[in-house]
Amino acid sequence: MMDETAEVLWSADSEADTVKLAQWLALHAEPGTLITLDGDLGAGKTRFSQAFAAGLGVKGVVNSPTFTIIKEYESGRLPLYHMDVYRLSTPEADELGLDDYFYGEGVSLVEWASLIPELLPQERLEIRLTHLGGEQRSITLRGMGSRYSAWCRELAGMPEGGGKA
């Protein structure tokens, strides 16, 4: 049972701040890591995903899997499973066998995950990006479970990015 949660607010004044956060998370990722990304269109989910993939050492172009639903990248330190569930209903998403990805040997990055909450493991890192104008973003990270909560507490202690618990 998951009983630990922590939340941190990360202020990104520039694209570089968003990239820094994504790459920090990529360095801490391990097999079975699940990160969910939510935010309005244009909030920066795909840019975050690109920076995260680069942090894992993924080679090549990383773009939104809007129409393919799941893109698998095997060239990094860990496999990356980049998903976009925006166009799926819960029953459709359930038929994809997402658990095989969530509990596999790679990292799952799920855009629009708030649309399928009942299909997600309890332990995960939820990220909500909010566009504040220009390159500025407010990024809320919510760690659910001990590993992800520890990440949030560590980020809250970092002066760069303006982490606030």
Q: By percentage, how much of the chain surpasses pLDDT 90?
A: 60
Q: How is the chain split into domains, by residue range?
A: 5-162
Average pLDDT value for residue range 95-117: 91
What was the pLDDT predicted at 109?
A: 96
CA atoms within 13 A on the CB side of 54: 14
Q: Is the whole-model pTM more than 0.75?
A: yes
Average pLDDT value for residue range 112-139: 93
What was the pLDDT predicted at 67?
A: 67
Identify the burial level of 16 via C-beta atoms within 10 angstroms of its C-beta, where 0-12 means exposed, 13-18 middle and 19 or more buried.
exposed
Q: DSSP letters of 95-121?
A: TT-HHHHHTSSSEEEEETGGG-GGGS-
What was the pLDDT predicted at 1?
A: 45
Q: Could you tell me which CATH class the domain 5-162 is placed in?
A: alpha beta
